[in-house]
């Protein structure tokens, strides 16, 4: 038995049961901007369902090549206006000059938005490498530096426990992450992953590289295994064989897949919690129920006032 295996066994034994969780975990939720009225309705139902859980913030993604610039802005501004939530806007460097990007950020500041998730983004043509726009930002680290000069934004950035696909090696990736913090980022949110050890190893590597900053695991509740396989291949995320076996034969059983997704994701979060993780960022895919159920299992409850209102309604 190796040291790693012993460490794993110790963590499993130490892990609190769901019933014993203190309810001190803090959540954030990610949404994407809706493309149609129907999708907008679903998004707003989800936001309203998750709002009483009192997340630290919610964020709204930015489509490839800035394709959702207006929709992201409209969604973030509406969250800021109509809810009690702090809204963060994702912003990328793709196919835009520095001036154009800076203007988008200024408009956010004017709308009361104080938190940006600053990203490089990818080429809108699938399979093509990212190319810096002439007059644009080179990468996320440069964007963070640019934003920091504009206004005192809170800035979150992306991190990759299994290495970014463009990265030569883990050290290059960590150096890049460090630059983002040095340039003014406040926290990193990770790409999704499925084994808790993946996150623990990355947290250790960050500490070894002298990066003493908040890193929040990005949690993807999987319900459609085939689409997650496709996404994971693009992102360099390993999909464990056991996960394939758990979803086997469930193509026509959406309900069973939901239950399995909730079980697996809650289990991942419980192990992360046992390893000292108190903050979680959920890729909600604009659906609330699964995320709500997992938060509930982790001991996160609607604020008292919100619960009373729900009962009264
Ligand atoms: P960067 O940190 O700039 O770089 C990515 C990698 O390239 C680095 O890890 C590093 O290995 C390498 N690299 C960069 N600069 C250098 C350098 N100077 N020298 C050597 N190597 C370098 N995409 C969207 O389009 N819209 C979104 O809303 C969105 N939201 C996201 C949210 C999260 C939490 C995450 C994890 C990802 C998100 N993405 C989004 C995806 C992201 O845009 C891609 O992963 C993109 O390929 C990299 O973006 P980045 O900000 O990590 O880039």
Interface predicted TM-score (ipTM): 0.98
- Dist. CA 229–CA 136, nearest whole Å: 33
Looking at 1-15, 108-122, 128-142, 208-222, which range is the least confident one?
1-15
Nearest to 21 by CA among 241, 209, 304, 300: 300
220 C-beta closer than 6 A to ligand 1: no
Is residue 311's pLDDT more than 60?
Answer: no
Q: At 302, list the tokens.
A: 């609607």
Please tell me whether residue 89 adopts helix, strand or coil conformation.
Answer: strand
Q: How many residues does the chain have?
A: 313
Residue 4 confidence class, pLDDT cut points 50, 70, 90: confident
List the Cα angle 164/86/142 in 5-degree steps: 35
Calculate mean pLDDT across residues 141-164: 98
- Of the residues 30, 40, 100, 138, only one is catalytic, namely 30
Is the CB of 187 within 6 Å of ligand 1?
Answer: no
- Structure confidence at residue 18 (pLDDT): 80
The answer to whether residue 307 scores a pLDDT higher than 60 is no
What whole-number distance in Å separates Cα of residue 186 and Cα of residue 203?
16
Token output for 174 = 């960590």
Give the residue carrying structure tokens 């360099």: 236
Contact in structure between 94 and 68 (CB atoms under 8 Å): no
Nearest protein Cα to ligand 1, atom 43: 121
Measured CA to CA, the distance from residue 39 to residue 51 in angstroms comes to 18
Provide the mean pLDDT of the chain.
Answer: 92
Concerning whether 37 is annotated as a catalytic residue, the answer is no
Q: How far is the CA of 158 from the centre of ligand 1 (A)?
A: 6
Evaluate: CB of 183 within 6 angstroms of ligand 1: no
Apex CA 68: angle with CA 64 and CA 74, to 5°? 150
Question: Which has the closest alpha carbon to 90: 112, 127, 64, 111?
Answer: 64
Residue 182 to residue 155: CA distance in whole angstroms: 12
pLDDT at residue 10 is higher than 80? no
pLDDT (0 to 100) of residue 137: 98
Position 16 scores a pLDDT of 74
Q: How far is CA 46 from CA 62, 243, 291, 309, in A?
A: 19, 27, 10, 17
pTM, two decimals, is 0.93
pLDDT over 50 at 298, yes or no:
yes
Q: Render pLDDT for 71-90 as a digit per residue (tens, 0 to 9).
A: 999 999 999 999 999 999 99
Backbone φ and ψ for 28, nearest 5 degrees, come out as: -135, 155
pLDDT of residue 306: 58
Which atom of ligand 1 approaches the CA of 281 most closely?
34
User: Could you tell me which of 202, 147, 200 has the C-alpha nearest to residue 177?
Assistant: 202
DSSP type of residue 44? H
């Amino acid at each position: 038995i190796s040291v790693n295996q012993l460490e794993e066994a110790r963590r499993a034994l130490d892990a609190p049961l769901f019933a014993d969780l203190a309810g001190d975990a803090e959540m954030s939720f990610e949404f994407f901007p809706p493309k149609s009225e129907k999708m907008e309705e679903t998004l707003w139902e989800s936001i309203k369902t998750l709002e009483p859980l009192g997340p630290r913030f919610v964020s709204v993604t930015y489509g490839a090549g800035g394709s959702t610039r207006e929709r992201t802005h409209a969604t973030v501004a509406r969250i800021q206006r109509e809810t009690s939530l702090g809204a963060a806007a994702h912003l990328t460097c793709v196919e835009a000059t520095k001036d154009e990007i800076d203007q988008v950020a200024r408009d956010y500041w004017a709308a009361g938005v104080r938190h940006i998730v600053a990203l490089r983004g990818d080429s809108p043509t699938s399979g093509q490498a990212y190319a810096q726009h002439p007059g644009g930002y080179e990468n996320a680290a440069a964007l963070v530096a640019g934003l920091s000069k504009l206004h005192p934004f809170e800035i979150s950035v992306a991190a990759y426990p299994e290495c970014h696909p463009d990265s030569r090696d883990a050290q290059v990736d960590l150096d890049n992450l460090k630059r983002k913090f040095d340039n003014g980022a406040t926290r990193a949110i990770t790409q999704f992953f499925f084994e808790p050890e993946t996150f623990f190893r990355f947290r250790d590597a960050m500490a070894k590289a002298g990066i003493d900053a908040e890193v929040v695991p990005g949690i993807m509740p999987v319900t459609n295994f085939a689409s997650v396989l496709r996404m994971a291949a693009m992102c360099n995320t390993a999909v464990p064989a056991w996960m394939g076996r758990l979803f086997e034969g469930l193509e026509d059983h959406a309900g069973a897949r939901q239950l399995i997704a909730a079980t697996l994701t809650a289990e991942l979060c419980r192990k992360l919690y046992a390893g000292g993780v108190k903050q979680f960022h959920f890729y909600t895919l604009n659906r609330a129920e699964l995320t709500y159920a997992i938060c509930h299992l982790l001991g996160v409850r609607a604020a008292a006032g919100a619960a009373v209102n729900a009962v009264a309604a």
